[in-house]
Amino acid sequence: MSWWLLFKNEVKLQAFDMRQYWFETVASLVVLCGMFVALFYGVKSFAFEGGVGQSLDGLVFGFLLWAFASAAYMSVTRTVVDDTQKGYIEQLFINPKGFTAILFVKTMVELLSALLFMTLMAYLVMWLTGNWLDINFLRFFLVLIIAAPSLIGLGLFVSGFALVFKRVDTIGHMLALALMALVALDGLPFGPLSFLPFTPGVSLARDWVLQHSNLNLSDVLIVIANSAIYFAIGSVVFKHFEKVAKRKNLIGQY
């Protein structure tokens, strides 16, 4: 099976799931946007007039970053957990391309879906709030793609535990909540916070995309290094637990 065929089949599967479960797709978009709009107007009612514009812009931008971060992190964990629950994860492991290749393609398709979903959500939120941001989406996408491997690494880390222990809801929910804090931190310039996952990418996106500052090559290298380190750690942990699950014959059990 070629990589292109694998990618095309995964896109078809994603499209089928979205069409089959269209109500869940629409409901999740409406609920997320509704919650944010309520938060937006709540902050707006309490904010001081002097800095209200800048704070609201940051709130909208932070929401978009959190939405993408959640989708990128869940792109891996959802694949492992859902396929285990559906009972066909064993078939994916005996695929000629191997489970790692399938997981990689699934993650890439999920990330593309997340970018499209986030773009739609961005315009919907800006329209509902009347707070229009001057965003260069090409720049935004570039930063997110560079920073996404750190989130995928977190997903691989949790998914490795899921292969062996099956139920990792507590860890998953804790990390999902932690993403809210990560998008509010400044990982640039280089400092202690730069070692946290995704935070350098958040700062780069905020500076280059939202505030239109000049692009600093050293900042880009910090984001790349952060992504590479967390992706490597997540991959090593996942491979370790994959071997443990195979040795103990836990792959097909749930």
pLDDT in tens, 138-159: 999 999 999 999 999 998 988 8
Q: Give SS3 for 213.
A: coil
In a domain, 212, yes or no: yes
**Dihedral of CA 74/138/199/185: which sign?**
negative
Number of domains in the chain: 1
Residue 253 placed within a domain = no
Q: Is residue 80 part of a domain?
A: yes
Rounded CA Rg of the chain: 19
pLDDT band at 184 (very low <50, low <70, confident <90, very high): confident
Residue 65 lies in a domain: yes
Q: Per-residue pLDDT averaged across 171-188, rounded? A: 84
Which of 77-86, 114-123, 169-178 reaches the highest mean pLDDT? 114-123
Q: Which residues lie closer than 8 Å to 218 by C-beta, 6 or more apart?
A: 190
Q: Output the average pLDDT for the chain.
A: 83
Beta strands in the chain (DSSP E): none
Domain annotation covers residue 45: yes
Q: How far is CA 171 from the centre of its chain?
A: 16
Q: Which residue has the higher pLDDT, 77 or 1?
A: 77
Helix (H) or strand (E) holding 94: none
Query: Is 148 a member of any domain?
Result: yes
Average pLDDT over residues 168-189: 82
Q: Would you say 56 and 125 are in contact if contact means Cβ atoms under 8 Å apart?
A: no
Per the structure block, which two tokens stand in for 66?
Answer: 């959190």
Judge whether 252 lies within some domain: no
Q: Is the pLDDT of residue 188 over 60?
A: yes
Q: 223 pLDDT exceeds 90?
A: yes
Q: Containing H/E element for 100?
A: helix 99-129
Range of the domain at 137: 3-247
What is the DSSP track for 147-208? HHHHHHHHHHHHHHHHHHHS--HHHHHHHHHHHHHHTTS---SSSGGGGSTTHHHHHHHIII
Residue 254 domain-assigned (yes or no): no
Highest mean pLDDT among 2-16, 40-54, 84-98, 101-115: 101-115
